[in-house]
Amino acid sequence: MRAAVPLDPGIDQAAFKDLHHALLREFANRLDVTVTLVPAPSQVAMFDMLRRGEVDVAVPARPVGDGLPDYLRAAPTYYESQTHFVCSSAVRRRPRELTPSAARQLRVSSSDGYVQRLVAAGEPPVALAPRSPLGTVRLLEQVAAGEIPCTLAQRDEVERARQRMPSLRLGEAVGPVGSIGWLMRNTHDESLARQVDRFFVQARKSGLLAQLRKQEHGLRRRFDVVDLEGFRRAMETKLPRFEADFRRAAAEHGVDWRLVAALAYQESRWNPRAESPRGARGLMMLISATARSMGAHDRFDASASIAAGTRYLAWLHEQLGDEVAEPDRTWLTLAAYNIGPGGLARARRHVVKQGGNPNRWPEVRRVLPSLQPGARGWEPVFHVESVRRYFALLSSVDPVDGRLVLVDL
């Protein structure tokens, strides 16, 4: 079964993490089929995929509103979602209600249905907002970059997007709450539609839907840009168990131990039993081949993992060469830890093709999201920036000569 899903505004590439994906997974399990997720940049793109028969179902994750095209059929709704103003943190006076002047501050997607739905709901000023053919995720990126002041998006979408765009600020609610449901082609063969309808009736009666909603609420804390409270608590309860190993490995390889600790927290939250769907394991989340090449045969052994991860970090740093100055050399090293030296080399070649300096982290950071589709391209960016934040927090607690930024690795 092929399912159209929105571009992921966060850093997890459509990995059955949220409520919408969890429902798809449950439905596929009951039919004993596999699901292929097809990212769509907008609702209009989803409609076109369905019309052309490229997907079997579409999961809008946003309210669609009334007046569906004749070729579409809506499944039972299962989730309510609220539209909000979303502005950059640089915008001091954010709209509080949808007045004509507030609408002119917006740039609204013409392909995600906001204008039609809000006008139909009795919010005519939205029609005054400048339109953009881009989908909402792309507009959120423009807001975060300061290219436009504000846009409209769903609350949960903004919370997820803040993983990689921390400058986004959620504003006041706009219009009524809307309902979300799957979409299918309206055809003579209604076998799939009957299966979907039956699934949602059973999911509601059995309590599965309520259970997944509760799980979704709990997962949202994962989407915080930096959970300062959680990090500080981990510093008190977890870090003391591993600090000696961090210090020992860092001293051996000439690395600041706080950088290694920050990297380990980003990788595993200092959990020596951590595992990822891609095969990484342990406190430093090393794949099997890397761990073996760095001398660790048991990735769940915290001391061995720290030693191997630190050795790998130092090796990546050495590969960059002295032509890359600090602190860019360290930030590029962290990116290589996430995407591998080959992935970093590809990004740096892309910078050169664009006439930039491949030794500067800001320029490599700029091109990374374009090298892989959807949210996957943003993962190394989020990875580096998060490690930098955790490193700065550790440095403020345990300063060395008052420095908060690494000068040499």
388 class by beta-carbon count within 10 Å (0-12 exposed, 13-18 middle, 19+ buried): buried
Handedness of CA 251, 257, 263, 268 (dihedral sign): positive
Number of residues written out for the chain: 409
Residue 167: Cβ within 10 Å count: 15
Nearest to 383 by CA among 258, 234, 268: 268
Residue tagged active-site, from 141, 157, 267, 363:
267
Q: Show the tokens assigned to 372.
A: 């892989």
Q: Show the tokens assigned to 345.
A: 């080399």
* Residue 328 to residue 82: CA distance in whole angstroms: 41
Can the peptide bond before residue 327 be classed as cis, meaning omega within 30 degrees of 0? yes
In sequence order, what are the residues at sequence separation of 6 or more whose Cβ sits closer than 8 angstroms to the Cβ of residue 356? Answer: 363, 366, 367
346 class by beta-carbon count within 10 Å (0-12 exposed, 13-18 middle, 19+ buried): middle
Q: Show the tokens assigned to 35.
A: 């699901």
In the residue annotation, 216 being an active-site residue is answered as: no
CA dihedral 131, 160, 232, 262 (to 10 degrees): -90
* Residue 393 to residue 395: CA distance in whole angstroms: 5
Within 306-348, strands assigned E span none
Contact 261, 246 (CB under 8 A): yes
Handedness of CA 232, 161, 177, 197 (dihedral sign): negative
Contact 286, 309 (CB under 8 A): yes
SS3 content of the chain, % helix, strand, coil (to 5): 50, 15, 35
- Alpha helices by DSSP H, 208-299: 208-219, 228-237, 239-253, 257-268, 288-293
Positions annotated as catalytic residues are 267
